[in-house]
Amino acid sequence: MSRPIARPFFVSDAPHFGGAERYIVAMCAAARRRGLSPGILWIDRGIAGEAVMERLRQEGAPVKVLDGRRGAGTGLVRGFLSALDETGADALIFNACGRAGFWLLPWAARCRGLPAVWVHQMVDARDHRRLPARWWNGRMEGLQTWRVPQAVRHTLAMAACRAAVTLNEADGERIVRWLRAPRDRLHVVPHGVDCTEYRYDAAAGMRLRAALKLPPPGAGPFVVGTAGRLVRGKGVDLLIRAAALLKDRGLDVEVLVAGDGEAKTELAELAAGLGVAGRVHFAGFMEDMPAFYSALDAFALCSLTESFGLAIAEAMACCRPVIATPTAGALRQIEHGVNGLLLPGFDAGALAEAIARLAGDSRAAARLGEAGRRSVLQHYSIDLTLERTLRALRGRARACSCPVDPPQVVAVGEERA
C-alpha cells in the first residue's frame, strides 16, 4: 500500500514565469486547500533571475532555490538530496525537461524511496516541424540532432518515476512511440484552473479598460485579447494580420496583448507596417489575469503548438468566448460552436472571420462564454488536476482525464450535421 502524501514538491528549472509555472502555483494552492503542505524546488541555472523567484513567493508557495550552475552531475544531485532532507518532501512532481543533469534527479528521488511523476509539458508533433529554418541561408531547418540526447534523457528519467504524465492523449501516444514510455504507467492529466480566482469580474474589467483608455463594452470597438510570451510560434502575428484584414473590411476591432518577450519589437513593427499600430495594444506582464480576461469581448490563442492551452482554459473560466488554432490541446478543450470556435487551420483570414462572427452576434458570444466556463468547471478545475496527479503518484490505475473524443474540426461558419 502506498503511504499517504502530505508534502508534495514541484521540481522545475524553467527560466520564465509562464503557463507551466502558473500551473505549479495553482497546484500548490489547491494542495493547501486540501490540507497538504506543498512546495517548489526551483533549479536556478543563472537564467531565471530573482524576479521569477519573487513572483513565486508572492503567490504563497514555499520555494527552495537550488544552484543549477554547480555542474550537471554530482553537484546538482548533492544539492537536490540536501533540499529533500531540508524540506521533508515526500512526493515529487517533475516539470519535465531534457536539459543535461535534470534526468538524474528522479533517480536520486528513487534512491530515497520517494514517489515521483514526470510531467511532459509539450510533446505536440508540430513542435519539431515549425522551428525557423537556420541552415543554408534559411532554406533548411537542420537535422535537430540535439533532440536525440534529449529523448534519451527523457526516457531515463521516466524509468525512475512511478508515472509519466502528458496533457492530452495524442501526446501520450507520441511518447509511447518516440520514447518507449510504458503505457501502463502513462496518465493523461490536463492542466487546471482555479475557478474561484478565474471568473468574470465586470468591475475589474471596466477598471482595466479605463486604465488602457478603452471604452466600456458595447460602446466602442470589439476588443480581442491574447496572452503569452511574445516569441515566435505563439501566433500573435496571426492576430495582428487578422486585425488588419478586419480594418480593411471596416470592422472596428482592437487587439490587447498581455505578456512580454523578445519578439515584441518585431510584432510592433508588423502592426505598424500593416497600418494597425493604433489598434494593437501591448499591455506587458499583467498581475491580474482575471481582470485582463474580464476586460475582453473575446479571447484568441493562435499558437502553432500547445499541448494544453492554459490561457484558453483561464479565458473560458472567465466566461469569455474563445477562438483557437487547432493545436493538440485546443482540439480537446474546444468543441467547435459549443464552448468556443476552433479554426480549421493557421490562417489569418479564418481568424478574422471568427472574430467578425463573434462581434456580430453578442448573444452567441455570451452563450459560448457561459458554456466555456461550464466545461472548465466540469473537466479542467485545478482540484481535479491535483486529484489526478496524486492518483498517478500513488500508482493508481491510470484513467483518461479528457472528457470526450477530439471534436471534429469544421470551418468557422459551418454548422454540425
Cell triple for 412 = 468557422
Per-residue pLDDT reduced to its tens digit, 277-298: 999 999 988 889 999 999 999 9
At 147, the pLDDT band (50, 70, 90 cuts) reads low
Per-residue model confidence (pLDDT) at position 120:
87
**Cβ pair 11, 27 in contact under 8 A:** no
Instruction: Place 14 in a pLDDT band, splitting at 50, 70 and 90.
Output: confident
Give the pTM. 0.84
Q: How confident is the model at residue 125 (pLDDT cuts 50, 70, 90)?
A: very low
Higher pLDDT: 174 or 242? It is: 242
What pLDDT is stored for residue 73 in this prediction?
66
Q: Can you tell me the mean pLDDT for 17-36? A: 85
Q: Is the pLDDT reported for residue 98 higher than 70? A: no
Domains of the chain: residue spans and CATH: 8-188 (3.40.50.2000), 202-379 (3.40.50.2000)
Once rounded to an integer, what is the mean pLDDT over residues 25-53?
81
Q: Which of residues 117 and 134 earns the better pLDDT score?
A: 117
The per-residue pLDDT for range 264-282, each reduced to its tens digit, is 999 999 999 999 999 999 9
Residue 89 has pLDDT above 90, yes or no: yes
Query: Which of the listed ranges 89-103, 120-134, 278-292, 400-414 does the model predict with the highest average pLDDT?
Result: 278-292
pLDDT of residue 113: 93
Q: Tell me, what's the pLDDT at 404?
A: 37
Residue 407 is predicted with a pLDDT of: 38
Mean pLDDT of the chain, nearest integer: 84
Higher pLDDT: 307 or 49? It is 307
CA 189 to the chain's CA centroid = 13
- pLDDT of residue 180 exceeding 90, the answer is no
Q: How confident is the model at residue 229 (pLDDT cuts 50, 70, 90)?
A: confident
**Cα–Cα distance between 376 and 389 in angstroms, integer?**
17
CB 168 within 8 A of CB 402: yes
CA of residue 85 relative to chain centroid, distance:
31
Grid cell listed for 341: 470556435
pLDDT one-digit tens code per residue, 398-415? 544 444 333 333 334 333
Identify the residue with better confidence: 52 or 209. Answer: 209
Q: CA torsion 132→138→140→143, rounded to 10°?
A: -60
